[in-house]
Chain A
């Protein structure tokens, strides 16, 4: 029996042909398995660049049935390593897009992976100024307002 293939279309017109195992990883797309075989399914708020990454992630996460001859822990480690490399090589801007795409498509593993990447960046910063610098956040406080907010935070920090 040949596998059913589905065509996903990004917001900017790129087409991605994927099989059922990939589609099922997205809670949003899962129902389309019933209706859309053979037709193009438009994903209006995800660009081709990001959809490409989503498909790459899902292809790597297709659960292999059985898998008796290799130990479960070693294949789990290899997958984790792939996930780490996958998410670390991206710049933060792409990671934000991936978060939104994974959120819309409801792909939990990818969503958590991308959020964890941003979270790690925040956790690694020394203070709020470094967080601002790393994440490119622009402060809308005036100097006085900022001093006031800092003072209010004295309960927490030295």
Chain B
């Protein structure tokens, strides 16, 4: 029984707005009723599968992406185009893409995405895009921006993702970013040769910022991030080679994920109000003295650097209200690295008075790790949940590691030790 066709037109169109466009066009042949529906779907999502090797995955064989997009836009009737996504359009020319974007802007587009996969491609974005009043989400990936106009404004833009974009200079980036008065969510990923040395983010409305800099550039081009956004609630930084300057405090910061291989610990000075923190810092990082994390409730620390135990002690000593602690190992370490455990002179306040949850992922059962685990388990008087995830290829070894810890802390623990 054809129940789907019993749904009214507008519901069918809504369902089709979740389907990539080549699937939507295919529905035009289903039955007479379906013929005109695809032209009214306010969302166009184009993907290029011509690089797929496996024929089976390449279901509906689109003639050529360029022809398909042009044909679709010519026949498409919806007055409002809410979403226009162009993925992997490497075979399309820069001016063609510019033309399509012009059409999308004229049709009041809200969500625009231009994304390439393997290489950077030039796109000639029309100037009207940079004044688009309806645009709410913009994503550009591996795009070479030929130019960003001097006067631009994105009055409705709330989400901006600039992934591996190449600009003409520093100002292009800051012009692009600072003319978004209500921007809430910004993601920036750098790439080699992007022509920007300093990324300045000065946005009072910004609530969430993600920065990813895993590219080594030689000075003076090495990437510097200057962040000047006091309303940030969420900050994610993955930065292996650059530098970060946080101007001012971040009083609204709720969660911070800091994964950095450069000397960035002064960044923690701005985090005094943070509630949830994930940290993986450089080997030379030292905890900034006097920085108390008054509201820190949840801490996740990566144990990949040699001095991780010192960082752990510093963090525990400066997080008076910590309730949840999780230790993880997210990066490769040398088997015979020199780690040591120096028991703090005074038991950190949070262990005695607040810590409720303790988790250790990738526990390897080394001498130092055992010492740390025993110290925490024996001093966390209010612990409610303690879970160890032993890391080993052998199941027997896993149980062995767990058992050792379990027995060593049996009479000292405030709660059960569970194996994850």
Binding site for B on A (CB under 8 A): 68-72, 92-93, 96, 99-100, 103, 111-112, 115-116, 118-120, 122-128, 131-132, 135-141, 146, 149-150, 153-158
User: A126 to B58, alpha carbons, bound, how many Å?
Assistant: 8
Instruction: Decide if A137 touches B2 in the complex (CB within 8 Å).
Output: yes
Instruction: Decide if B16 touches A149 in the complex (CB within 8 Å).
Output: no
Binding site for A on B (CB under 8 A): 1-7, 11, 14-20, 22-23, 25-35, 59-63, 67-68, 71-72, 254-255, 275-276, 297-298, 300, 323-324, 356-357
- Least Cβ–Cβ distance between B250 and chain A, in angstroms: 17
A-B contacts, 17 listed (Cβ < 8 Å)? A68-B276, A69-B357, A93-B3, A111-B14, A115-B17, A118-B18, A119-B15, A122-B15, A122-B16, A126-B60, A127-B59, A131-B26, A136-B3, A137-B34, A138-B31, A139-B30, A157-B63
* CB closest chain-B residue, reference A132: B30
- Least Cβ–Cβ distance between A75 and chain B, in angstroms: 12
* CB closest chain-A residue, reference B68: A156
User: A128 to B4, alpha carbons, bound, how many Å?
Assistant: 15
* CB closest chain-B residue, reference A112: B18
Residues of B within 8 A of A158 (CB): 61-63
User: A120 to B7, alpha carbons, bound, how many Å?
Assistant: 18
For B4, B17, B67, B276, which residue has the most chain A Cβ atoms within 10 angstroms?
Answer: B4
* CB closest chain-A residue, reference B300: A71
Residues of B within 8 A of A156 (CB): 22, 25, 62-63, 68, 71-72
If A127-B26, A141-B32 touch, whether A119 touches B4 (CB-CB below 8 Å) is no
User: A150 to B71, alpha carbons, bound, how many Å?
Assistant: 15
- Least Cβ–Cβ distance between A32 and chain B, in angstroms: 24
If A71-B298, A126-B60 touch, whether A118 touches B15 (CB-CB below 8 Å) is yes
User: A28 to B31, alpha carbons, bound, how many Å?
Assistant: 33
Partner of B11, one of A99, A116, A135: A99
Partner of A128, one of B27, B297, B323, B356: B27
Instruction: Decide if A122 touches B27 in the complex (CB within 8 Å).
Output: yes
Instruction: Decide if A137 touches B14 in the complex (CB within 8 Å).
Output: no
Residues of A within 8 A of B63 (CB): 154-158
If A99-B11, A155-B67 touch, whether A69 touches B4 (CB-CB below 8 Å) is no
If A103-B11, A146-B29 touch, whether A126 touches B59 (CB-CB below 8 Å) is yes
